[in-house]
């Protein structure tokens, strides 16, 4: 590692693992460290985060003076100004003073963010056009994670809870969501939702090519099954994909009508589908439903490109986006 380079540390706190990375001034990860998350108490968690950051630096021959800040992405809302994690999903953290705990071991500027927001920030700093000021990242996974970048900064709202796009309602009184509401976007347009829709269609169409793709086993169905069968000419699969794209476009259109961002980046496994099967029809469907479609400029729909690195890079760069 170069002795005159400034680095930023990013830590991505997942449900089962902690992942940290050294990010240089070119926004590239130069070294990483990973360990399983063994939660014992909030005090122990604070100590672990500090030890991880210190270990990452020492193991790579970096002087502490070369590190500008550390940023951490948590699966839940945070109060960055106070350095407090409000609460997290799947980890028993409530009102955890992370910055105060970290400073017991290293007096380094600490920035906190929601993990989806951090991923959006990472994609923003790696977007090809550096003149872009607004980007929304939509990650299609177990649920739908969204992060909103406006004016080069994360939009968190007054309480750190803004940007929970997976829980906008697209079907009145629809399917029950884990959040307590009905008809949430993630119940219809997440990767898990696509799997449910695919298996339901297979049950209704025992002659569908989708059965052959999974060897007759429903537990092997994934987000690619319907797309692959559609490309083989399967009518039932085409219906699944068409309906799924309608659900996806419904939520994306809501985001466009509210924010009119320059870029919407799609992440998660589903986003890896061919452009002609996903991005091209989605772009057209979203534009058709959006207010201001007669305008000269419209949001550009692209694929996210950082994958699992987005959270680490975005967390590391939180200090630049204040």
Q: Which domains does the chain have, with CATH numbers?
A: 7-124+310-321 (3.30.420.40), 133-304 (3.30.420.40)
Nearest partner of 116 among 94, 98, 140, judged by Cα:
140
**Both structure tokens of 316:** 């590391």
- pLDDT at residue 2, as a whole number: 62
Bridge partners for 33 per DSSP? 20
**Both structure tokens of 256:** 């466009």
**Both structure tokens of 47:** 């100590």
Output phi, psi for 270, to 5 deg. -60, -30
Q: For 52, left (φ over 0), alpha (ψ -120 to 50), or beta?
A: alpha
Is the Cβ–Cβ distance between 78 and 154 less than 8 Å? no
Q: Edge to edge, what strands does the sheet with 300-303 contain?
A: 153-154, 144-150, 135-140, 263-267, 300-303
By residue count, the chain amounts to 322
- pLDDT at residue 149, as a whole number: 97
Bridge partners for 148 per DSSP? 136
**CB-based contacts of 312, cutoff 8 Å, min separation 6:** 10, 11, 12, 19, 20, 21, 23, 29, 32, 73, 122
Is the Cβ–Cβ distance between 70 and 12 less than 8 Å? no
C-alpha to C-alpha distance for 247 and 189, rounded to whole angstroms:
6
C-alpha to C-alpha distance for 13 and 16, rounded to whole angstroms:
8
* Burial class for 32, CB neighbours closer than 10 Å (0-12, 13-18, 19+): middle
C-alpha to C-alpha distance for 73 and 156, rounded to whole angstroms:
13
- pLDDT at residue 261, as a whole number: 97
Radius of gyration of the chain (CA): 21
Model-wide pTM > 0.75: yes
**Both structure tokens of 229:** 């069968």
pLDDT tens digits in sequence order for the chain, 322 residues long: 566 789 999 999 988 899 999 999 999 999 999 999 989 999 999 999 999 999 999 999 999 999 999 999 999 999 999 999 999 877 899 999 999 999 999 999 999 999 999 999 999 999 999 999 999 999 999 899 999 999 999 999 998 889 999 999 999 999 999 889 999 999 999 999 999 999 999 999 999 999 999 999 999 999 999 999 999 999 999 999 999 999 999 999 999 999 999 999 999 999 999 999 999 999 999 999 998 888 889 999 999 999 999 999 999 999 999 8
C-alpha to C-alpha distance for 262 and 141, rounded to whole angstroms:
23
- pLDDT at residue 1, as a whole number: 59
C-alpha to C-alpha distance for 212 and 283, rounded to whole angstroms:
31
Cα 40 to Cα 13, 44, 73, 150, distances in angstroms? 15, 6, 19, 37
């Amino acid at each position: 590692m170069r002795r005159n380079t400034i680095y930023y540390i990013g830590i991505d706190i997942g449900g089962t693992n902690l992942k940290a990375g050294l990010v240089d001034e070119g926004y590239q990860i130069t070294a990483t460290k990973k360990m399983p998350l063994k939660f014992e108490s909030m005090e122990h968690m604070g100590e672990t985060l500090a030890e991880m950051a210190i270990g990452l630096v020492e193991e790579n021959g970096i002087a502490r003076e070369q590190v500008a800040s550390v940023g951490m992405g948590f699966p839940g809302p945070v109060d960055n100004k106070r350095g407090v994690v409000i609460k997290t999903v799947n980890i028993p953290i409530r009102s955890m003073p992370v910055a105060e705990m970290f400073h017991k071991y290293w007096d380094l500027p600490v920035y906190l963010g929601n993990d989806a927001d951090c991923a959006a920030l990472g994609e923003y700093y790696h977007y090809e056009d550096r003149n872009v000021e607004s980007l929304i990242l939509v990650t299609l996974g177990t649920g739908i994670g969204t992060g909103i970048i406006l004016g080069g900064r994360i939009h968190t709202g007054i309480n750190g809870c803004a940007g929970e796009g997976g829980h906008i309602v697209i079907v009145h009184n629809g399917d029950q969501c884990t959040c307590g509401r009905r008809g949430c976007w993630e119940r219809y347009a997440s990767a898990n939702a696509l799997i449910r829709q695919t298996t339901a269609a297979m049950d209704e169409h025992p002659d569908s090519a989708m059965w052959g793709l999974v060897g007759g086993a429903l537990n092997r169905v994934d987000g690619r099954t319907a797309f692959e069968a559609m490309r083989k000419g399967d009518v039932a699969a085409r219906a699944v994909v068409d309906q799924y794209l309608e659900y996806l476009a419904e939520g994306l259109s809501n985001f466009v009508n509210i924010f009119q961002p320059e870029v919407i980046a799609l992440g998660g496994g589903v986003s890896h589908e061919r452009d002609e099967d996903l991005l091209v029809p989605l772009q057209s469907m979203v534009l058709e439903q959006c207010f201001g479609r007669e305008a000269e400029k419209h949001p550009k729909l692209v694929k996210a490109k950082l994958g699992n690195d987005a959270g680490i890079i975005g967390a590391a760069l939180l200090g630049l986006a204040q």
